[in-house]
Structure 1
Amino acid sequence: MQEILNTTKSKMDKAIETLRHNLVDIRTGRANPAILDRIEVDYYGSPTPINQMASIQVVEGRQLMIKPYDKSLVKDMETAINTSDIGFPVINDGDVLRINIPTLTEETRKSLSKDASKIGEESKIAIRNIRRDANDMAKKSKELTEDLKKDAQERIQKITDDYVKKIDDTVKEKIDEIMSI
């Protein structure tokens, strides 16, 4: 039974991690270096993430300043950022790239909040699917008595409730961040 519970927790932890990873992509009106994590630049023949090739700093809360370690890569980084889907223009200051993050309108904030809620709902569905699979494993287990199977299902439900609460808290935190000015 403990193996089933451990497997369930492990899978649910991955679902929470995926949720957090997906929520990072939703912008909040504040500059966040994580928006550049998925952008790669060709560096000596291999695609390399920008965050490994430059220092990225938040300036005045609404601007990202990107200082490449190798100044010859400024133009390549600018092109990579402009062709990405982050949606912000890049200002090339010679040695440094700057990205200004505009403030969000009320309409945009509401739309982004809905997106965050949708991602949260998808995560809850994933958690429920994991619960269903765990309950099926417990029911089919030949080693567990009927009482132990019932106990396992109750424990699985408790774990599920805890993880759904984590999802709700994480999404609420993101929505609060989006809605704050």
Structure 2
Amino acid sequence: MISDVKKTAEQKMTRSLETLKTDFGKVRTGRAHTGILDHVTVDYYGSPMPINQVASVTLIDSRTIGVQPFEKNMSGPIERAIRDSDLGLNPASQGNIIRVPMPMLTEERRRDLIKVVRGEAENGKVAVRNIRRDGNEQLKKLLKDKSISEDDERRAQDDIQKLTDRFVAEIDKALQVKEADLMAV
């Protein structure tokens, strides 16, 4: 029972770390990457939808992303969603394609991206801590049901805390690597 709780917590923490690394990969330095628009949502007839579900997102060249809406009347909302996102991009309509040029990274833009990356890292840490909380609640429930002893519960909580500390340290390490990558000119 205890090993199941610990194993589940470790698997969930691993998934959180992988998700964070994927999100870090979407924050690009200077080069265009279609994944950068993945988390931007568009109001599609009253419900929020990811851009890649209402339009085709492609690379036009190394510094420009092309967004071609599946429906012509979606051009305006898609353009607005990209402009309003926290990415600092300025899309321009060109016929039925929306061109999204990637700006050269200025010192200020690099600092903005670092803020975004730090926010992502903090969200990753919060996710790991929530997993710890869930694991501890499961252990308390087992203790209440008299399935485990207090000593076993205490040891298992310590193990889950060590797991949490390890994953928070890995998140910090990944953040340092990404910050160094962003600041490299």
- Verify same fold: TM over 0.5: yes
Q: Name the aligned partner's letter for residue 88 of structure 2.
A: G
CA shift digits 1:33-54 (9 cap, x unpaired): 23433232536x7654331233
Q: What is the CA–CA distance in structure 1 between the aligned matches of 2:103 and 2:129, rounded to whole Å?
A: 38
Give the conservation status (yes or no) of the 8 Å contact 1:39–1:84.
Answer: no
The match for 1:171 is 175
User: Does the Cα contact within 8 Å between 2:42 and 2:49 map onto a contact in 1?
Assistant: yes
Residue 91 of structure 1 and its aligned partner are, at CA, apart by: 2.2
Task: Report the Cα distance in structure 1 between the residues aligned to 2:50 and 2:120, rounded to whole angstroms.
Answer: 25
Mapping of residues 80-95 of structure 1, within 5 Å = 80-81=80-81, 84-85=84-85, 86-95=87-96
Q: Percent identity of the aligned residues?
A: 36
- Distance 1:79-1:67 versus aligned 2 partners, 3 A rule: closer
SS in 1 for 2:124: helix
SS in 1 for 2:148: coil
Confirm or deny: 8 A CA contact 2:69 2:75 kept in the other structure: no
Tell me how large the CA RMSD over aligned residues is.
3.6
Ranges in structure 1 where 5+ consecutive residues have no aligned partner: none
Q: Which moved more, 1:169-178 or 1:49-58?
A: 169-178
| Paired AA for residue 117 in structure 1 | R
Q: State the aligned residue count.
A: 179
Cα distance in 1 for residues equivalent to 2:27 and 2:136: 34
CA distance in 2, matches of 1:5, 1:162: 14
- Is residue 32 from structure 1 mapped to residue 33 from structure 2 by the alignment? yes
Counterpart of 1:149 (choices 149, 153, 156) is 153
SS in 2 for 1:109: helix
DSSP-derived class of the 2:109 partner: helix
Provide the C-alpha distance between the structure 1 equivalents of 2:170 and 2:54, rounded to a whole number of angstroms.
Answer: 34
> Which whole-Å CA distance do the structure 2 matches of 1:69 and 1:133 have between them?
42
Partner amino acid for 2:108? E
Output the amino acid matched with 1:155.
D
> Unpaired segments of 5 or more residues in structure 2?
none
User: Is the alpha carbon distance of 1:110 and 1:151 closer, same or farther for their aligned partners in structure 2, counting shifts above 3 Å?
Assistant: same
Give TM-score, length-normalised by structure 2: 0.68
Query: How far off is 1:10 after superposition?
Result: 5.2
